[in-house]
Amino acid sequence: MQRLRAILIAATLAWLAACATSSTTLVEQDPVAMTEVPVAKVEADLSAADPWAAYWNASRPAKFVLIAQQVVPPRPDRVTTDGIQVQAIHDGTRVAFRLRWPDAEPSEAGRLGEYSDAVALQFPVVNEQLPPVTMGAAGMPVHIFHWRAQYQRDAERGKPEITDLYPNASIDMYSMEFKDAAGGTQAEREQFNPGVALGNPQSFRKSGVDEILAEGFATSAVQAGHGAVARGEWRDGWWTVVIARPLVIDGASTLRAGAATSVAWAVWQGGEREVGSRKSVAINWVPLKVQ
């Protein structure tokens, strides 16, 4: 009898310890195949993107199939990422997505011919009539959040210099020495940086995620950001990326509890020379159920 009591006490203590641990530590759960993405409400602050926060325990990972993009050229030769794991939660103000996929090694681009690992979330702007999942169509826009490992590297460590990318590069020397030119005015400097002068968002430092509107292939237009944040980390052959955005974005996509909406995604493996239309994509829109 005493032995049985000791066993029960030990089991109870182990269960209590597991509960305490799960509330403070992320426990990776096995993903399950689903036909929709449930978005659980949590009592947490999602203003920062944290891939390893314990609040992700409230969301069971759902796994979805990806296929190679085959609609427009250039197309990938094969499927490099055949699936993605998705978790989603919200705090009443913001919604966060945790995305995981296998990748043999991280790629951050830099040198010519090198490309960055990336992932994108896509939402319809008008929920009542879903646009084509292939980046929308004329008059049927989609709202995209695009994270790139390259953007995160630049934001955290600064853009690499030529000596970082090409350590053996040599610098030609002139036979005559010239005095350093004066700094010049801002207008004069912009003559040699037309992207900045024209306000091209691609010419400015990235925060880790681009916000894009599109109405079909080759129509992507980077928009002024609405406070989306993203953070990714590569560990043990897997990328884990969190993209968090406001639930309501006027003039773009809006997510509301109980209202029907959908989501789709795409993955680029830079090490496999994927960029632009060379990517793995969702087969169809996936229903998003905000609780």
Q: What is the CATH number of the domain that holds 264?
A: 2.60.40.1190
pLDDT band at 158 (very low <50, low <70, confident <90, very high): confident
**What is residue 19's predicted lDDT score, i.e. its pLDDT?**
47
Q: Is 4 inside a domain boundary? A: no
Distance CA 219, CA 279 (A): 17
Q: What is the mean pLDDT of residues 252-268?
A: 94
Angle at 94 between CA 266 and CA 275, to 5 degrees: 20
Query: Which among 66, 89, 90, 95 is positioned nearest to 78, based on CA atoms?
Result: 66
Q: How many domains does the chain have?
A: 1
Q: Is 174 inside a domain boundary? A: no
Q: Is 16 inside a domain boundary? A: no
pLDDT band at 12 (very low <50, low <70, confident <90, very high): very low
Alpha helices in 89-179 (DSSP H): 149-157, 162-165
Distance CA 56, CA 96 (A): 10
**What is residue 180's predicted lDDT score, i.e. its pLDDT?**
62
Distance CA 59, CA 42 (A): 9
Q: What is the mean pLDDT of residues 132-138?
A: 96
Q: Is 18 inside a domain boundary? A: no
Q: How far is CA 137 from the centre of its chain?
A: 23
pLDDT band at 4 (very low <50, low <70, confident <90, very high): very low
Q: Is 10 inside a domain boundary? A: no
Q: Is the pLDDT of residue 162 over 90?
A: no
What are the tens digits of pLDDT across the range 53-98?
A: 999 999 999 999 999 999 999 999 999 999 999 999 999 999 999 9
Q: Is 240 inside a domain boundary? A: yes
User: Which domain covers residue 222, as residue numbers?
Assistant: 28-167+183-290
Burial of 73 (0-12, 13-18, 19+ CB in 10 A): exposed
